[in-house]
Structure 1
């Protein structure tokens, strides 16, 4: 083999290795994109934006309890609920769009760095698993049954404490609003 033939073979080998490396990077990138498509992390951002709305409604309910007559309390809560729903309707799409837009650029490098191709394939298999989907579809039923059982079994001990706390907060709110 001549030096020229040797150089050609070496160049061919280097190009083939580079091609394989590029293909492997493309394969891994495709696996990362598949994981991101299956992973609905944007739901976390949506919960983050909606939680303050639920908290605001609960705080309003507590603040009104015992301070205004039931009819006025109901009307006020209904009016407040309208404002809260407006916030949710306006804020949720903004956060969802931002979360979707930021998902790949933020998480793709982390997935690529921390998982091998084989691990990404395993993760995809887990995320696509029919058993996982079945389990997730049954979660509301499981959570409801569990929550009802915990509530029923702890109601006798918790209700008096909840009532005492509610009365205490109501008295303090009344006192604060009546004092000049």
Structure 2
């Protein structure tokens, strides 16, 4: 009998945090619903990263390998292809992220949070102060990155030129001309 009591207590202790109830599942679903925009944005960023890398490579090749009189037309074609790709892929990835959220993020929330903690989390997410803070995210990021850009540009520009020269040398390409050798770090875009 004593063994059964110990086993029962151990089972209760280990299952207390992981125990899932209908109410807890409802709270997890509410957190996921409140975070859906963020989930969709992360999925969109997942697609945007390789697109931006392709665009940057294409711009470099465009400047070095395409005749000046044809660059604009080729650039427009590339931009149209990238836009079509994003238009087709972003909705698919966003929808997939939202559909996978309950079985991934939701499962973690269900496992790691108690009902009371989920209620507190929802209160934080829904609080006016949190919403105000999140709305300022793009503004805060812009002001910081603008200052970083301004203060690092003199140091970074020569390093970018040196890197471009080294890469050109490794690829057997002619050294970039002074006119083309002024790539500054892209100024951060505001969100």
Give TM-score scaled by structure 1 length.
0.75
Deviations 1:73-113 (A, max 9, x none): 23222211111111000001111111111211333332112
Superposed, which structure 2 residues align to 1:79-98 within 5 Å? 79-98=77-96
- Where 2:66 maps in the other structure, the secondary structure is coil
Rounded Cα–Cα distance in structure 2 between residues aligned with 1:172 and 1:74: 28
Aligned residue number for residue 6 of structure 2: none
Aligned residue number for residue 100 of structure 2: 102
Superposed, which structure 2 residues align to 1:53-132 within 5 Å? 53-132=51-130
- C-alpha RMSD of matched pairs (Å): 2.1
The structure carrying a bigger helix percent of its residues is 1
Aligned residues of 1:63 and 1:170 also touching (Cα < 8 A): no
Rounded Cα–Cα distance in structure 2 between residues aligned with 1:166 and 1:68: 18
- Where 2:101 maps in the other structure, the secondary structure is helix
Superposed, which structure 2 residues align to 1:1-180 within 5 Å? 25-40=21-36, 41-170=39-168, 172-173=170-171, 175=173
In the alignment, structure 1 segments of 5+ residues that lack a partner are 1-23
Rounded Cα–Cα distance in structure 2 between residues aligned with 1:76 and 1:38: 42
- Where 2:64 maps in the other structure, the secondary structure is coil
Rounded Cα–Cα distance in structure 2 between residues aligned with 1:132 and 1:27: 24
Distance change in 2, residues 1:135/1:34 (3 Å): same
| Higher normalized contact order (CA 8 Å, seq sep 6+, divided by chain length) | 1
Q: CA deviation at 1:119?
A: 0.6
Aligned residues of 1:31 and 1:117 also touching (Cα < 8 A): yes
- Where 1:36 maps in the other structure, the secondary structure is helix
Give TM-score scaled by structure 2 length.
0.71
Aligned residues of 1:57 and 1:77 also touching (Cα < 8 A): no
Aligned residues of 1:33 and 1:108 also touching (Cα < 8 A): yes
In the alignment, structure 2 segments of 5+ residues that lack a partner are 1-19, 175-191
Rg larger in structure: 1
